[in-house]
Structure 1
Amino acid sequence: MVIDFSKILNKQQRQNIANAFLTPFSWLYGTGVWCRNAAFNAGILKETSYDVPIVSVGNITVGGTGKTPHVEYIIEGLLANYPQYHIGVLSRGYKRLTHGFVMARDTLTPRDIGDEPYQIYHKFLGHIALAVCESRRKGIEEMLKIDPAINLFLLDDAFQHRYVKPKVNIVLCDYNRMPYNDRLLPLGTLREPMYRMVKQADFVVVTKCPNDIKPIDIKLIKEKLGLFPSTELFFSNVNYGNPVPVFPRANVKLDNLSWMSSDDFILGLTGIANQRPFVKYLRQFQAGVRVMHYDDHHDYTREDFKDITRVYSQHKGRRKFIVTTEKDAVRILNNAYFPPEMRDYIYYIPIRVGFLNYEDREFIPELVRRIQA
């Protein structure tokens, strides 16, 4: 006999049972994290410093804080205003099918270097060097051998990778999931306790803030984070651009989602860690919306595209489009299984980071000041 607890217990009771079950595992995880950090702090595990300044962009939660658009914002700001920097970007290349050190080049695909590194590399093609490697130390050393002109490194998602000692640590926090309201894995989404961010972050950026965030909210966040006076605190938001065809030669135009009416239909397609802001964005328009969500960095299969095409065909609409994220677009563009007959109808929404005017400071000049200190 199988007991369906969902019919016996309410949501809060089920959550309490799950919390009780997961709490010992969270304690064990926290103990392991504490021991590892203590080993680094005591010098048992060694951090390596380099003559080239290194900026780490990371977080203390599992995914979804906006690391890639912030890395792109930093690259764009440095290229525009500080041309003396020859930037090297180093990432792990999550969910790539290769192993070890791989230097990005035009002939490689997202499967070779990962979707986010591929996106960054092609967005700044010819202006940066980029590589992927599980070992950040090996990655830095190999990149310097190949391109000795690199004089600034950006490490993507490297706050937990303590074998490299960065000159500047940037830690991102999601406004909708602040660390002081969270718990350690697997009870919550924290990779490590908030105190390490407080102790070792040079910059904390609260991401995905509402455009109309109140001064009192900023004050409360600042108080609850409890950062040192030397830590720079910034607030950023996400700005969505107009739709862009995934396949550049699309014959059916979709210039602006606001032009769609209630007679139109959007099939949202996401394979990202936190799809909620993107879905919320799609639902603000008049068109009917259905969303198909896959795991973060999902590698779409032939069967996935059959399901997507079936759902798309079932829905009626005067005009119908598939609208996806920029990260998903990278994987779809390079996927041979995507149906050719659907290429005219799939668009992605580009996103850009914007920094809120907080205490009349600008992020890029403050970052450069820390790099040069």
Structure 2
Amino acid sequence: MKFIRIILFPLMPIYYIVTWLRNWCYDNGILKSKSYNVPIICVGNLSTGGTGKTPMIELLISLLHKKKSVATLSRGYKRSTEGFVLGDENASASSIGDEPFQFFKKFDGIKVAVDSDRQNGISKLLQLSSPPDVILLDDAYQHRKVRAGLNILLTSYSNPYFKDYVLPTGNLREPRSGKNRADIVVVTKCTIGITETEKEQYRERLKLKSNQSIFFSYIDYATDVIGLKTTLKLKDLSKFTLVTGIANAKPLVEYLAKQGLIFDHIEYPDHHNFRTSEIEMLSQKELILTTEKDYMRLSDNDSLNENLFYLPIQTKIDDADNFKKQITSFVI
């Protein structure tokens, strides 16, 4: 992969110019963005994935859904349906995508919709008999046709955008200057106990404007793993098979190893659709641990249900009170 990216290096300036020019056209009104009267929060990143968008959306839902009617709007990557779909009692990971289905299963009373056309998706949500008070756009930072009222940009601690390059040599979807659209920047997946000196170094290298807020977050892993019928203590697990189909499994692998757990790791691409042969192979494993997102796809297979568990995670924000204050003050 690294060799291919080196070969494709001559294409990087072309990609840079095209994406920069597109942003310039939106910034200067040549291409039009649409605004809405309902509060819209966009969560996204500059890179191709692995920054923790799903836990961030869940954190925002947790902060808002008890007092506001919340809707999430995602693309619904690799779903079997097309157009606008609103999650209902027939929803599945196949029909609305694994991450939206995770929101749907986890939070009662919220609306979960998918539509690759975000303008159309928002319009459909607002036409409902009971429209939402606030809409959370999942992975929509580059969807410039919608002008969100609050943009939250995520960048990972181990691979921040200031160390990366645009595609195809790097992982950035657009130039680093795209960070200027953010109202809030969250450095995700920080090491626990990050020092104030390290934070200040990141602040300097992120090169944010005075009106942009910065927060640091880390992953909080649960102590229990959850299956269809039972819950087990993570520390009590004997040898197991870790199955992941996410953009960046490294933090999870490192965490499990630090706990002294013994496991084999089978890694698939992000949003992997498991084939019948792969399910048959996995059904022979004595105990499978996976992520919550992967569990949404794998749990449909009866042959895995007895031995399939997932490890819940949460995003924890340093200076959480100020983060909550900024989110809630925007929505009110």
Q: Structure 2 length normalisation: TM-score? A: 0.95
- In 2, Cα distance between equivalents of 1:259 and 1:138: 48
Alignment match of 1:324 (pick from 290, 295, 316): 290
In 2, the alpha carbon distance for the partners of 1:45 and 1:37 equals: 9
Question: Larger C-alpha radius of gyration, 1 or 2?
Answer: 1
Offset of 1:20 from its aligned partner?
A: 4.6
Is 1:98 the counterpart of 2:81? The answer is yes
Aligned amino acid, residue 53 of structure 1: P
8 Å Cα contact 2:80-2:94 kept in structure 1: yes
Q: Are the counterparts in 1 of residues 6 and 169 from structure 2 also a CA contact under 8 Å?
A: no
Structure 1 residue aligned with 2:58: 72
Q: Distance in 2 between matches of 1:246 and 1:25?
A: 46
Say whether the 8 Å CA contact 1:54–1:152 is kept in structure 2. Answer: yes
Unaligned runs of 5+ in 2: none
- Matched position secondary structure for 1:205: strand
Letter in 1 for 2:282: I
Distance 2:323 2:80 in 1: 35
* Correspondence 1:169-248 to 2 at 5 A: 169-197=151-179, 199-247=180-228
Calculate the TM-score normalised by the size of structure 1.
0.85
After superposition, give the CA deviation of every residue in 1:122-174 in whole Å (9 maximum; x if it has no partner). Answer: 1112x211210011100010111114431211100111001010100000001
1:45 is aligned to: 31
Distance in 2 between residues matched to 1:40 and 1:172, nearest whole Å: 21
Q: Which residue matches 2:125?
A: 143
User: How much has 1:21 moved relative to structure 2?
Assistant: 2.0
Q: Which residue pairs with 2:236 in the alignment?
A: 259
Tell me which of 273, 277, 280 is aligned to 2:247: 273
Show the counterpart of 2:315.
353
Instruction: Select the residue among 87, 107, 111 that pairs with 2:94.
Output: 111
- Identity across the alignment (%): 36
* CA deviation map 1:284-329 (0-9, x unaligned): 233421100111111112100223245x3xxxxxxx5211100011
- Measure the CA separation in 1 of the matches of 2:119 and 2:293: 27
Contact in 2 for aligned 1:93/1:117 (Cα 8 Å): yes
Q: Report the aligned-residue RMSD.
A: 1.8
Secondary structure of the 2:287 match is strand
Counterparts of 1:287 and 1:92, CA distance in 2? 36
Gap runs ≥5 in structure 1 = 1-13, 313-319
Q: Which runs of 4+ in 1 moved over 6 A?
A: none
